[in-house]
Structures are given as structure tokens and as C-alpha cells.
Amino acid sequence: MKMKLNWGAGVTAVYALFAVATTLFVVFAARQPVDLVSADYYAQGLRQDQRARALENVRDLGTRVRVTRTGAERVSIEIPPEQAASARGQITLYRASDARADRLVDLAVDTAGRQSVSIDGLAIGRWSVRIEWNAGGRDFYFETPLVID
């Protein structure tokens, strides 16, 4: 005996297949890690004007702010020497793909405006070095990419 499928059975099969596929996708998506770029992204957005002024202040300094790799496990931070005595701030080694990997270091430059920061233990890949500091009553912000291989 030959069984014949009618159009109603076909519509039901397609709908059931669609419902199962949608459910599987929702389960898959719910199990993926969701890292925000930053835990306080809203507050950072409100401070955007201050950040723009701090970036402009660094541009006014010229090329006197530098981040250079000084070996396999260290990065050298350099700000203008005349700001060294009054500079207070923070260095952030920022990993966009994993918020838990970010590393914060207090800015503590020597009299020449230099500081060495360890990158030992950081995962291979793309990082950003972000330097925020205040000197002489003005805010400064500098950011540059860093690739660890």
C-alpha cells in the first residue's frame, strides 16, 4: 500500500522543523558568553566630552607620548619629563575580546617620564594600551594598539 502525503502534512512538517531549528538556535545563543566592552560603558559615554579634551591635550604635546616594546615581557611608557613630577593616573592593558583579562597599573613614572610595565602572562593577540593621567590641572588620554605574539 502506497501512502500519499497531502499538502497539510507538508506544512506541518515544515513548521515543526522551523520550530525545532529556532529552539536549537536560542539554546545555542543563550550558552555563548556575553562580555560587555566595559562594565560601566554608560558612564564612560557620559564622559565622552572630557575624553575628547584629554585626547586634544595629548595632540598638543606632539609625539612626546610613546609606548614601546622593550623585550618579550615588558612595555615602556613615556610621557613628557616636565609632567613627571605631577602626573597621576592609570595605565590600562585592555583586551576587547575578554573583559576579565584587562590589567590596571597605576601610573608611576620616574623623573624622566618613563615607566616599565610587565606584560608577562598576557594572552597572545591584540591589546590596547590606554594611559589616562592628570598633570598641571589638565587631563590627558593616550591609546595605542599592542600585539602580543
From the number of C-beta atoms within 10 Å of its C-beta (0-12, 13-18, 19+), residue 86 rates as exposed
Residue 82: half-sphere exposure toward Cβ, Cα within 13 Å = 3
Give pLDDT, residue 67: 92
Q: Give the residue-averaged pLDDT of 6-11.
A: 88
Strand partners of residue 132: 90, 141
In whole numbers, what is the pLDDT of the chain averaged over residues? Answer: 89
Q: Which domains does the chain have, with CATH numbers?
A: 45-148 (2.60.40.10)
**Paired sense of beta strands 103-106 and 114-118, if any:** unpaired
Residue 32 pLDDT > 90: no
Residue 119: half-sphere exposure toward Cβ, Cα within 13 Å = 28
Residue 2 pLDDT > 80: no
What gap in Å lies between CA 115 and CA 65, rounded to an integer? Answer: 12
Report pLDDT digits (tens) over 39-94.
Answer: 677 777 778 888 899 999 999 887 789 999 988 899 999 999 988 889 999 999 99
